[in-house]
Amino acid sequence: MTGVERRLRIQGLTVSFPGQGGPVSVLDNVSFEVFGNEIVGLVGESGSGKTMTSLAVMGFLPPSGRIEQGEICFKGRNLLECSQAEMRKTRGREIAMIFQSTRSALNPLMRVGDQVARVYRIQRGLDAKEAQEKAVAALNRMGIPDAERRARAYPHQLSRGMCQRVLIAMMVACEPALLIADEPTTGLDVTIQAQIFELIKEVRQATEASILLITHDLGVVAETCERVVVMYAGQVMEMAAVEDLFARPRHPYTQRLLTSVLRVDKVIEMPQLDAGLTEDVAYSIAGCRFASRCPRVLPTCWEQTPLGAQIEADHWVTCHNYG
Amino acid sequence: MLLKDRRLLTGVLILAAAVLAASVLPSFIPYGPLQTEPGATLQPPSLNHPMGTDHFGRDILVRVLYGVRLDLRIAVMVALTALVAGTLVGTFSGYYGGIVDDVIMRITDVMMAFPSFVLAMAITAMLGNTIPNVVLAIAFSYSPFFIRLTRAEVLSARELGYVEAARCVGNPDWRIMYLHLLPNCLTPALVQATLCLGWAILTAAGLAFLGLGIRPPTPEGGVLVAEGAGDVISGQWWTSLFPGVVIVFMAFGFNLIGDCLRDITAQEER
Amino acid sequence: MSIRQKQPLLRVVELVKEFHDGPLVLRAVNSISFEVYPGEAVGLVGESGCGKTTAARSILRLTEPTSGHVYFGDTDLTTLSRGEMRAARRNLQMVFQDPDTSLNPRFTVRRTLAEPLKLHKLANGGTLDTRLLETMGRVNLDPEFLQRYPHQLSEGQRQRVGVARAIITEPQFVALDEPTSALDMSVRIHMIALLQRLQKELDMTYVFIAHDLSAVRALCNRVMVMYLGTIVESGPTGEIFDRPLHHYTRALLSAIPIPDPEVKRQRILLKDEPPSLYDVPKGCAFHERCPDVQSGCRDVRPKLRDVGGGHLVACEGI
């Protein structure tokens, strides 16, 4: 960890939604921390609960979602106990979020420069002229060439990569302490993706923000993140520093993930054509949710949800039979 | 679950009552629809004749019931004809686009420029006063709506993957249009068809009232109203009121169902 | 292993596809030529707008090419009548990208799979059932799913139905349009393994369109890199991935994150963004963003040159 300050601490978060056979907990006892000035990757496949976690932090859970238990502490304050008004003040100023679908996150009827300037006016109380200047400067810092002219463009006139930069400019206008980036490069070309991640790293450098990067791409995790939290079906499976996780994965899920992920730098061995494709994440309600697909499953895995165990200084596993 | 909606329930009940009455009741009535009784003309409603009698001593109730039969048949024929013709043409137009689409759209523009009733009048007058002609005329005036609805659905659906996949697999155009696209684009047209039923009844009755299409002595809603219209002034209200009310109720019933279906399908799309 | 002693199964010659938007002309495919030999799996890679999907669709005449020739065996597909082309489709299939929209929502799986067999009169009645069961088995799908509708299947299952539909006529050639991009990380390798196995079992030739280069590396023996409608580099997979020569290819490969923190790389960041396809630069399509641009690059459009070992590059500066 790069900073002693504990910026975000999620403890025992359980969120459920109404389902056909009763409430389904899409997040089950999720716990992890984000310290100051570090980039933490939250990685998982579809249905892992990573986006739901970020929505819970921002207070954006859909109305049918119920927080059964747990707390989300930001700089010591439990966000779940904050009023709506307090959350509104916190959002944007202290915690910001970069969404997946860029074009729809920007107002199509407003020029992009105005949208960035608006953030400065509302959050920092600047007057129109100052806000405009700051907006253009921000767009410039985000690597948008010819920023002054581009500021007068509407979102549909810019490419998706540009739109994402505008969004990032808006989100960091207030230099938030915590920036949540939810798959910020979905739909972007790989060369643009590389640019965006460089930009995120620069932002972290300049503002000392903590960044929670949500992604399904292990490559992005390896190259951009310092610590990693691996989720599966709403449960945290493993947490470690990036080098540790890749070099010595302990959880069977992480191990399987790392051996089966496709890479550009080498040809990996093809698996036996087994149940890999006949999937369907039908996880058990009690116990560990990976039990039905785990190669090292024990009888106790079906009954008891494993608790997080710290195996090394910065390496936690939630498994009865890790190795 | 669907029947919980009061509108739908009411509409279905009205129609069920109409169909039931029209099919079963006449067998219990001792008079035929064309049977005259010169001694009992213009009798007010009584136990013998619950809806009274008309100029020729014919029982109005039984004539109304036969009228309902005819109107229902006409309505269904009209809706089916317009639906089939409209969706076939609409799919063709939407799929091919270009000049074909332009031409068809301009023709429907012209058709829709005329008030539908006036158009139906003109065509009936041209073709002659028989029931099939009435059906054709009304269906023709209503078909542009089906054409447009279906075309709109097809325009968006034809960009979807399964259409390209169907082409890739080797389907000829006609199969893509009518076996792949049309079944997926039918919903709005089906809803419109139920609304068309109500409109068809009103139009048929209206045409008959004006002397076009169905003529007396054939019992039909509009004919009956026309026959009884003059009597109101002399105080015999029953000869035109009952047929009129029945027409209104049937149209109302169809419209309730159609409205409800439209709302349901609109909600599902969201 | 030299596959080249045989005749090419597919030979594309100067294929062009333009779209007209009023007075504007969009040149999606800007005269490409290449060959695919039987048994190969050739990757067609590039970023959005490079023309790879349009090229594949033009080759299969799902969209009509503006000019150029596509030889499948001895037949020029571009000269076939509509009826002849439909018949030829028995051997030219495609697996589509989006499993959600590429299956007709009102068709059961059975109907979707039976259709190609019926259209090409390959089976009916008892033989149809046998073929269906056989194909379902090949893609690891429970025969029970034949009765189901697409919305009753998972994403991965739908994708496999798409694969099944493409292979059921036992085509010689299959174009695969990003078959792994909608799938989860841990499932992708299984799809690649499946595609590999099917290729051997049914003796098919693949063209794999992807922007997921890791999938291409796993499946393809040859790769072609496209940029703004032209092929800028092509060659054996190992060559292209380990020793890329074209500046765009090198930038592209360096941008792809590798799931291994120990591997340190020098990232080549390109300037700006690709120009619009309405306004393809004269000369080399890449010269505006090339870190090594020279005076000739603005005027002359480079041709693909063989630099040895089947490695072709379209660049004057190499």
B184 closest CB neighbour out of C90, C106, C120: C106
Cβ partners under 8 Å of residue B88, min gap 6: B178, B182
Which bin fits C6, alpha (ψ -120 to 50), beta or left (φ > 0)?
beta
Whether A265 and C196 lie within 8 Å, measured CB to CB: no
How large is the ipTM? 0.87
User: What pLDDT sits at residue C110?
Assistant: 95
Whether C62 and B164 lie within 8 Å, measured CB to CB: yes
Distance (Å, whole) CA A46 – CA C314: 40
User: What pLDDT sits at residue A281?
Assistant: 57
Whether B162 and C115 lie within 8 Å, measured CB to CB: no
User: What pLDDT sits at residue C221?
Assistant: 94
What are the pLDDT digits (tens) for C9-32?
Answer: 999 999 999 998 888 888 899 999
Q: Which two tokens stand for residue B79?
A: 């809706």
For residue A316, give the H/E element and its range: strand A315-317
Of B237 and A40, the structure prediction assigns the larger pLDDT to A40
Distance from CA of C238 to the nearest CA of A (A): 9
Q: Which two tokens stand for residue C13?
A: 């010659």
Mean pLDDT, chain C, rounded, equals 89
Q: Taking the CB of residue A80, how many other CB atoms lie within 10 A of it? A: 16
Buried b (16+ CB within 10 A) or exposed e, A25-59: bbbbbbbbbbbbbbbbbbbbbebbbbbbbbbbbbb
- Residue C290 lies in domain: 10-91+171-313
Q: For residue C20, list chain B residues with Cβ-Cβ distance below 8 A.
A: none
Distance (Å, whole) CA B49 – CA C125: 63
- Assess if residue C105 is contained within a domain: no
Q: Which chains touch C (3 or more CB pairs under 8 A)?
A: A, B
Nearest CA to B191 out of B6, B8, B4 is that of B8
Distance (Å, whole) CA A68 – CA A79: 15
Q: For residue C211, list chain A residues with Cβ-Cβ distance below 8 A.
A: 189-190
Of A58 and B31, the structure prediction assigns the larger pLDDT to A58
Residue B180 pLDDT grade (very low, low, confident, very high; cuts 50, 70, 90):
very high
**Residue % of chain B over a pLDDT of 90:** 35
Whether C262 and A267 lie within 8 Å, measured CB to CB: no
User: What pLDDT sits at residue A247?
Assistant: 92
Interface test with A, best of C161, C253, C258 (most A CBs within 10 A): C258
Question: Is the distance from CB of C205 to CB of C23 less than 8 angstroms?
Answer: no
> How crowded is the C-beta side of A179, counted as CA atoms within 13 Å?
29
> How crowded is the C-beta side of A240, counted as CA atoms within 13 Å?
22
3 state SS of A311: strand
Classify the C-alpha dihedral C168-C172-C175-C178 as positive or negative: positive
Burial bucket for residue A229 (CB in 10 Å: 0-12, 13-18, 19+): buried
- Assess if residue C118 is contained within a domain: no
Residue B166 pLDDT grade (very low, low, confident, very high; cuts 50, 70, 90):
very high
Whether C154 and A198 lie within 8 Å, measured CB to CB: no
Whether C97 and B161 lie within 8 Å, measured CB to CB: yes
Distance from CA of C177 to the nearest CA of A (A): 16
Question: Is the distance from CB of B146 to CB of B185 less than 8 angstroms?
Answer: no
Interface test with C, best of B169, B177, B181, B268 (most C CBs within 10 A): B169
Q: For residue C241, list chain A residues with Cβ-Cβ distance below 8 A.
A: 264-265
User: What pLDDT sits at residue B270?
Assistant: 52
Cβ partners under 8 Å of residue A273, min gap 6: C140, C190, C193, C194, C197
Distance from CA of B165 to the nearest CA of C (A): 6
User: What pLDDT sits at residue A207?
Assistant: 86
Whether C214 and A271 lie within 8 Å, measured CB to CB: no
User: What pLDDT sits at residue C249?
Assistant: 92
Q: For residue A218, list chain C residues with Cβ-Cβ distance below 8 A.
A: 185, 259
Q: Which two tokens stand for residue B209?
A: 């009232």
Interface check for B169 against chain C (CB to CB < 8 A): the answer is yes
Closest Cα in chain B to C92: B168
User: What pLDDT sits at residue C1?
Assistant: 46
Q: Which two tokens stand for residue C58?
A: 């033009």
3 state SS of A144: coil
Helices (H), A208-298: 218-224, 242-247, 252-260
Structural domains present in chain A? 6-94+174-317 (3.40.50.300), 95-173 (no CATH)
Question: Which residues 128-167 of chain A have a CB within 8 Å of chain C?
Answer: 145, 159, 161-162
The total number of structural domains in chain C stands at: 1
- Assess if residue C58 is contained within a domain: yes
Q: Which two tokens stand for residue A312?
A: 């090394």
Q: Which two tokens stand for residue A65?
A: 């979602």
Closest Cα in chain C to A219: C259
Whether B162 and C103 lie within 8 Å, measured CB to CB: yes
Q: Which chains touch B (3 or more CB pairs under 8 A)?
A: C
- Assess if residue B19 is contained within a domain: no
| Three-state secondary structure of C275-288 | CCHHHCCCCCCCCC
Cα dist from A91 to A32, A84, A94, A96, A176, whole Å:
20, 10, 6, 6, 9
Crossing angle for the helix pair B6-24 and B238-269, to the nearest 10 degrees:
140
Residues composing chain A: 323
Tell me phi and psi for residue A50, to 5 degrees.
Answer: -70, -40
Q: The domain that contains C186 carries what CATH number?
A: 3.40.50.300
Question: Is the distance from CB of A287 to CB of A304 less than 8 angstroms?
Answer: yes
Q: The domain that contains B170 carries what CATH number?
A: 1.10.3720.10
Q: For residue C94, list chain B residues with Cβ-Cβ distance below 8 A.
A: 165, 168
Average pLDDT estimate for B147-166? 93
Q: Taking the CB of residue A176, how many other CB atoms lie within 10 A of it? A: 22
User: What pLDDT sits at residue C4?
Assistant: 54
Distance (Å, whole) CA C41 – CA C164: 18
Question: Is the distance from CB of B74 to CB of B204 less than 8 angstroms?
Answer: yes
Nearest CA to C232 out of C317, C279, C308, C302 is that of C302
C102 closest CB neighbour out of B161, B171, B172: B161
Interface test with C, best of A103, A191, A200, A217 (most C CBs within 10 A): A191
Inform me whether the pLDDT recorded for C57 exceeds 50.
yes
Closest Cα in chain A to C276: A159
N-term to C-term CA, chain C: 27
Interface check for A262 against chain C (CB to CB < 8 A): the answer is yes
- Assess if residue B13 is contained within a domain: no
Q: For residue B168, list chain C residues with Cβ-Cβ distance below 8 A.
A: 60, 62, 89, 93-94, 96
For residue C76, give the H/E element and its range: strand C75-76
Q: Which two tokens stand for residue C206?
A: 């693949």
Q: How many beta-carbon contacts under 8 Å exist across B and C?
A: 56
What are the pLDDT digits (tens) for B202-231?
Answer: 999 999 888 888 888 888 888 888 888 888
Whether C86 and B170 lie within 8 Å, measured CB to CB: yes
- Assess if residue B61 is contained within a domain: yes
Q: For residue B187, list chain C residues with Cβ-Cβ distance below 8 A.
A: none
For residue C187, give the H/E element and its range: helix C185-202
Whether C140 and A277 lie within 8 Å, measured CB to CB: yes
Nearest CA to B269 out of B129, B130, B157, B107 is that of B157
Q: Which two tokens stand for residue B39?
A: 């001694």
Inform me whether the pLDDT recorded for B146 exceeds 90.
yes
Q: For residue B154, list chain C residues with Cβ-Cβ distance below 8 A.
A: none
Distance from CA of C213 to the nearest CA of A (A): 6
Whether A246 and C192 lie within 8 Å, measured CB to CB: no
For residue A91, give the H/E element and its range: helix A84-93
Distance from CA of B180 to the nearest CA of C (A): 7
Whether C104 and B168 lie within 8 Å, measured CB to CB: no
Distance (Å, whole) CA C255 – CA C249: 10
Q: For residue A193, list chain C residues with Cβ-Cβ distance below 8 A.
A: 255
Distance (Å, whole) CA C282 – CA C290: 14
Q: How confident is the prediction along chain A (323 residues), in pLDDT tens digits per residue?
A: 445 788 899 999 999 988 877 888 889 899 999 998 899 999 998 888 999 999 999 888 888 888 989 999 998 888 888 888 888 888 878 898 888 766 778 888 999 999 999 988 888 788 888 899 989 988 888 888 888 888 899 988 888 888 888 988 888 888 889 999 999 888 788 888 888 898 889 888 888 889 999 999 999 999 999 999 999 999 999 999 999 999 999 999 999 889 888 888 888 888 776 555 555 555 657 788 888 888 888 888 888 888 878 888 889 998 888 87
Listed ranges A88-102, B18-32, B66-80; the one with the highest mean pLDDT: B66-80
Q: Which two tokens stand for residue C19?
A: 């779209």
Whether C211 and A190 lie within 8 Å, measured CB to CB: yes
- Assess if residue B46 is contained within a domain: yes
What are the pLDDT digits (tens) for C240-275?
Answer: 999 999 999 998 998 888 888 888 777 777 776 777
User: What pLDDT sits at residue C45?
Assistant: 94
Question: Is the distance from CB of A215 to CB of A43 less than 8 angstroms?
Answer: yes
- Assess if residue C165 is contained within a domain: no
- Assess if residue B216 is contained within a domain: yes
Buried b (16+ CB within 10 A) or exposed e, B232-260: eeeebebbbbbbbebbebbbbbbbbbbbb
- Assess if residue B251 is contained within a domain: yes
Distance (Å, whole) CA A47 – CA A110: 34
Cβ partners under 8 Å of residue A10, min gap 6: A30, A31, A32, A33, A53, A57, A70, A71, A72, A73
Q: Which two tokens stand for residue A285?
A: 């309600």
- Assess if residue C40 is contained within a domain: yes
A223 closest CB neighbour out of C196, C217, C257: C257
Residue B95 pLDDT grade (very low, low, confident, very high; cuts 50, 70, 90):
very high
Cβ partners under 8 Å of residue C287, min gap 6: C281, C293, C297, C298
Q: Which two tokens stand for residue A151?
A: 């500021």
- Assess if residue B20 is contained within a domain: no
The total number of structural domains in chain B stands at: 1
Whether C192 and A270 lie within 8 Å, measured CB to CB: yes
Question: Which residues 80-139 of chain A have a CB within 8 Å of chain C?
Answer: none
Q: How many beta-carbon contacts under 8 Å exist across A and C?
A: 139
- Whole-model pTM: value is 0.85
Distance (Å, whole) CA C290 – CA C288: 6
Distance (Å, whole) CA A109 – CA A189: 26
Cα dist from A32 to A24, A73, A176, whole Å:
21, 11, 20
B170 closest CB neighbour out of C105, C106, C116: C116
Whether B169 and C162 lie within 8 Å, measured CB to CB: no
Distance from CA of C190 to the nearest CA of B (A): 24
Q: Which chains touch A (3 or more CB pairs under 8 A)?
A: C
Detail the DSSP E strand segments found in A146-226: 178-182, 210-215
Whether C193 and A271 lie within 8 Å, measured CB to CB: yes
A190 closest CB neighbour out of C189, C196, C256: C256
Q: Which two tokens stand for residue B187?
A: 């919903």
Query: Chain centroid to CA B40: how far?
Result: 35
C106 closest CB neighbour out of B167, B171, B183: B183
- Residue B240 lies in domain: 25-269
C89 closest CB neighbour out of B160, B162, B169: B169
